[in-house]
Amino acid sequence: MSQRVKIAVAVTVALLGTFALGSVAPSLRTGPGPLSKRLRKSKTEKPLPEGIKRIYVDGVDGKLEVLTNEKSEDGRPEDAPLLMIHGGMGSARCYDKWAVYFASKGRKVYSLSIRGHGLSNRPDNFNSLTNADFCKDIASVVVYITESHPTSPAPVLIGHSAGGGLSQYTVSTLKPNTFSGVILLAPYPNTGGAPVYLEWIKFDPLFFPRFFWHGCDNMSPLSSPALVKRAFFSDGYDEGELKDFFNQMNPEETPGWPATMTNKFTDHEPVKMNAGGRVHIISASHDRLMTPPIMKKFVERYGCSSNVVEGSGHHMMFDNQWQVAARYVEAKLEEWNL
């Protein structure tokens, strides 16, 4: 092994070790961290989009917020409902634009805030919640959806970023055919998110100094609109929309969730099998986190269909190209006859 390779390995191990050690502090808290408390005070709740309402579904640990158009008279029973899962520091509001778009096409949409996110119940053990816990939240909402639409196909699961990782874990964990298909949006690779964390450190060299300055609060990397824009959006994203997006973000995040996806957390074969082979991946050309090389390897591993949203950053459901991404989903649903 050359000296250069040894140094690279040592630096990588040191960075990941620092991240792991830094994650211990927030996991010991029962309440929000110092930064999260400040962000919570400044958070504002926007009115819901027209045609979308808020309901609460009983979960295993309290009420779960779901945004839906379920009482709309539009739509066909032969169309599969859409269950949409947000990523880290997000909530059901991450799909506001898509909820309106797909509702206008006659689709029944359900956007879930998993435990401790949005207006869902925040349990005292929030900082230790993992994929396994949030999988139960999805399972609870699936039961509600299938009971509400007994003549429709099983829902299609759509997951973004960490929610895409959670979606893979959920599909591989629940019984086969719980979902008619799964669409992954710039998701955590099932082999683990360590390469993603390294990409974050590359474009944000102050990641760790800021993290420790903020008392090891998990919201530190996204603690300002400028940081959110750099991580989530393309350079041309509107500043006004950015401010609105920042204000509706979840003000805290459990360290347990990304920790359970740092290394390999599921195999791709059970995901494909349990979804009846209907897996589709959508990535973004200007994603600084789930970079094109990372997503290329991910798509090759799954051996499934895929799209790339040209010009979009990581958060393709809110970036300028959100309609392009939504149309990719729509086209795949039509191809699947769902």
Residues 207, 223 contacting (CB under 8 angstroms): no
Give per-residue pLDDT as tens, 277-311.
999 999 999 999 999 999 999 999 999 999 999 99
70, pLDDT greater than 60? yes
Of 8-17, 229-238, 329-338, which gets the smallest average pLDDT? 8-17
pLDDT at 6: 62
**Residue among 259, 255, 312, 253 at smallest CA distance from 282:** 312
pLDDT at 45: 80
- Banded model confidence at residue 24, pLDDT cuts 50, 70, 90: low
Q: What is the average pLDDT across 28-51?
A: 69
Give per-residue pLDDT as tens, 143-156.
999 999 999 999 99
Ramachandran angles phi, psi of 151, nearest 5°: -100, 0
Give per-residue pLDDT as tens, 215-248.
888 888 999 999 999 999 999 999 999 999 999 9
Q: What is the average pLDDT across 160-184?
A: 98
The Cα–Cα gap between 141 and 169 comes to 16
Specify the fold of 3-335.
Rossmann fold (3.40.50)
Q: Provide the residue ranges of all domains of the chain, joining segments of one domain with +.
A: 3-335
pLDDT at 11: 56
Residues 108, 97 contacting (CB under 8 angstroms): no
The mean pLDDT value of the chain amounts to 91
pLDDT at 250: 93
pLDDT at 72: 64
pLDDT at 128: 92
State how far the alpha carbon of 255 is from the alpha carbons of 26, 112, 312, in Å: 7, 20, 27
- Banded model confidence at residue 44, pLDDT cuts 50, 70, 90: confident
- Banded model confidence at residue 29, pLDDT cuts 50, 70, 90: low
Q: What is the average pLDDT across 113-127?
A: 96
Q: What is the average pLDDT across 66-76?
A: 80
Q: Does an H or E element contain 29, and which? A: none
The Cα–Cα gap between 92 and 114 comes to 8
337, pLDDT greater than 60? yes
**In the chain, where do the E strands start and end?**
53-59, 62-68, 82-85, 109-112, 156-160, 181-185, 279-284, 305-309
